[in-house]
Amino acid sequence: MRRLSAHLGGPRLWVKREDATGLGFGGNKLRKLGYVLHEAVAARADVLVSGGVVQSNSQRQVAAAAARLGMECHLAVHHGRVAPPAPEYATSGNALLNRLFGAHLHDVPWTGNRSAAIEALASRLREEGRRPYLVPYGVSNPLGAVGYASAIVEIAEQSRALAVRPTAIVHCTGSGGTQAGLVVGASVAMPETRIIGIDIDAEPERVRSDVIAYARAAADLIGALSTRATSRSSPGTPVPATACRMRQPSRPSGLPERSKP
């Protein structure tokens, strides 16, 4: 990102194009889904249940993955967390793609509880005789975090190929799983690289708490997998930190802005 680096008068900047990961127009949730949905398939689930705000990227990627797997998808769509910027907000963009992917949308009011409506929807489907698999808000849980711990290995390999030694990886953090995985992976594969999460939800205490909890549990999962595969113990658990929100112009980078769930 030479022009953006020059515009900021700062260090060399590189971008990891997680918006170009493929399925359902891409996004960072696909790395998490690669692990989480393996569990859903193993459990013989017949329907995926998740949720998010109206234009959630997470919902769109869950709906696309469900279509690819031949599963039904039900989404709890939260209204009221953000004010609609235009009349077509609820029918365009990701909201339209969710319908095109065949998802069933259930409108619910935003109460501040990210999980309650998703859990209630899963419970209702279970009572109807279905076998739902609950994909958490933002696909953030310990298993989802493992997806980003493994992503660090990819980043480390690409950095070596480019003769780059990143001093920091900066990313958006909200539901916490991405940052948790990055911290765990970096503690092993890129120990000199800082992981800086930009809190897009303006809930620093909640985000920090979630990141720490997911990181510890993901490290335990990786340790269990490593022990099962190689009979070797896992590394220690890091303690992540969440940075405050910041904004910078996107125009010099030439990259489009993308909404965040």
Which residues belong to the active site?
56
Amino acid at 103: A
Distances (CA, A) of 131 to 12, 47, 65, 73: 49, 6, 17, 12
Crossing angle of helices 204-230 and 142-161, rounded to 10°? 80
Please state, in angstroms and rounded to a whole number, the distance separating the CA atoms of residues 190 and 2.
Answer: 23
**Cβ contacts of residue 26 below 8 Å, gap of 6+?**
18, 19, 20
Element (H, E) at 134: strand 132-134
Distance of CA 180 to the CA centre of its chain: 10
Euclidean distance between the first and the last CA atom of the chain, given in angstroms as a whole number: 25
